[in-house]
A and B are shown apart, each in its own frame.
Chain A
C-alpha cells in the first residue's frame, strides 16, 4: 500500500506539472494581450508606449520559461498578484471562491448520496417492475437534461411560483439548496444507473445466491454483502463526478448568482487574467487528481483482492 501511495503521489506531481505547463502555454498563446486589455480599461485610446509600460510592469516582456517559473514560485509563496476582475490578491480570491464552491459541491454530494443509494437499491430489488421502469425513464431524462435548464426550471417553480426560495442568493445553507440540487441531478441519475447495474451483478453472483440458501435474511444479504461489494464502480464514478462538479459548477453558479470558483474562472477568462486562469485550472486539476486518488484508495480498502489481481498481472 505504501509503495502504491508513493507511486500515486509521483503521478500526481507529474500530472500537476503537465497541467500547469499546458494551461500556461495555451493561455500565453491564446492571442490575447492582457497588457492591451488593461490599457484599454484605463484609457480609451492607449499609445503603444503605454501598453509596453504595462507589459513591463506585469513582467510580460520576459521570456515564457521565466514567466512560467515566476508564476510557479508564486503558487508556492502565495504571491500571484492582483486579480484583474476583483482587484484583490488572487490567493485571497481563490480561498473565498473555493470555499463557496466547496459548500455548494458538498451539499450536491449530500443530494447525490440521498438520491442514489435508496433509489438504486429499490430499483435492484424491484428489477423490471413499475418502480424500476419509471426510474429508468426519469434517470435517462435527468442525464440528458442540461443543468442550466434544470436550474431555470427550479427557480421558476420554487422561487417564482411557490416563492419558497429567493431568486437572489440567500445567505447560509438555504441559498445552496436549489443550486446544489440542480448540480446533483445529472450525477445522481448516472450514478443510479451504474449502482443499479452493479447491484444486479452482485445479486446474481454465487455467494449471494447461496447466502439465501444458507438461510440468511434478504436484508442482511443486501446490507452486509451486496451493497459493500457493489460500491467500487460507484465510488470511481462518484469521485470523477466530484471533479466535474467543482469544474462544471460555473453554469449553476451564474444562474443562481453564486460567486464561486466557476464564475471566477469565467470572469478571469473574459478579462484575460492569465495568472488567475492558469491558477484556477491547476487548482481544479489538483482537486480532480486527488478525487481520483481517493477513489482508488477507497476501492482498494473495499476490494483488497484487486491489489492481488494487479500484482498477479
Chain B
C-alpha cells in the first residue's frame, strides 16, 4: 500500500525569488493490487508526484509511505530495497536505457542486483519476460537505439518486472506511440495487472487511456488532486467541471 500524506513539492526558479508549487498538499492512498490512473494536463505536477513517490525527489512537506515506511527518510541499502519495489516506467524508453547495454544486459541488471539467480535461471527469466512482453528472442542482443518505440517501451516494462516490484508507476508510458502499438501495450498492461495482481499507478494526459485501464481515476490540476473517483464503466461519476471538460474533449473521438 502506498499512502501519500499532505505531500507538497516546491521548486525555486533559478535567478529569481519565485517559487513554483508543483505538488500542492496532495493526499491519497493506493491499495495493493489496484490500478489507479492520474490524469492531468502538461505542467500539472503529475511527473513530480511520480518522482516523489519513488523517492527520486525529496518532498518540501508531507510524506510518502510505502508499506508503512517513509521513502524520503530511508537511506542507503534500505532505500535501494524500497526503491526496487517501486519501479518507474518513463515516456522516453530510449533515454531511460543505457545506450551501451544490450536488451539482455538491460533486463539482467535488476535480476543481478536484487535477486541472486544462477546464470541459467537468469536466462530463463529473461526469456520468460520477453515472451510475456511479446518480444522476439533475437532482440536480446540489440541495443536501445536498434529498437522501435514500442519495443523500447516493452523492454522498459520487462526490466521493471525483472526486479519483481510490488508497484509499477507509468509516467506517460504510452505517449508518443502510434495508436496500434499503444493499444497493444495498454492491453498488455491490463493483462499483466490481471495476471500478477500488481499495483499500478498510471500517469497520463489522455483521459480515454485512463478510463480504458484504471478502476480508479484521479484528476490533477495545478498541483492539486481535484477529483478522485472509482470508475465502473460510467463517466457519470465525474462531477468536477475540469474533468467534464476533459470528457467533452475526448467525446468527438469516441463518436
Contact = CB atoms under 8 A, between A and B. Distances in A.
Nearest to B112: A220
B56 interface: yes
B163 interface: yes
A249 to B, nearest CB: 34
Contacts of B84: 214-215
A210 interface: yes
B100 A214 contact: no
A216 interface: yes
A9 B147 CA distance: 32
A36 to B, nearest CB: 61
Interface string A287-313: 000000000000000111100100000
Interface string B155-186: 00001100100000000000000000000000
A174 interface: no
A302 B101 CA distance: 10
B88 A210 contact: yes
Given A210-B90, A305-B143, A215 B99 contact: no
Contact of B99 (A211, A212, A217, A229): A229
A207 B97 contact: yes
Contacts of B81: 215
10 contacts: A206-B95, A207-B98, A207-B99, A213-B56, A214-B159, A214-B160, A216-B113, A228-B100, A305-B99, A305-B144
Nearest to B169: A213
Contacts of B113: 215-217, 220
Interface residues of A, number: 22
Contacts of A304: 100, 143
A213 B83 contact: yes
Nearest to A307: B145
A225 interface: yes
Contacts of B55: 213
Given A212-B56, A213-B51, A229-B100, A305 B145 contact: yes
A193 to B, nearest CB: 23
Interface residues of B, number: 32
A205 B95 contact: yes
A206 B92 contact: yes
B96 interface: yes
Contacts of A303: 99-100
A32 interface: no
A209 interface: yes
A178 to B, nearest CB: 38
B95 A213 contact: no
A220 B200 CA distance: 28
B80 interface: yes
B129 interface: no
Given A206-B95, A213-B56, A220-B113, 17 more contacts: A206-B90, A207-B95, A207-B96, A207-B97, A207-B99, A210-B88, A210-B96, A213-B54, A214-B87, A215-B85, A217-B80, A217-B113, A229-B99, A229-B100, A303-B100, A304-B100, A305-B99
A215 B54 CA distance: 9
Interface string A213-232: 11111001000110011000
Nearest to A220: B113
A217 B81 CA distance: 10
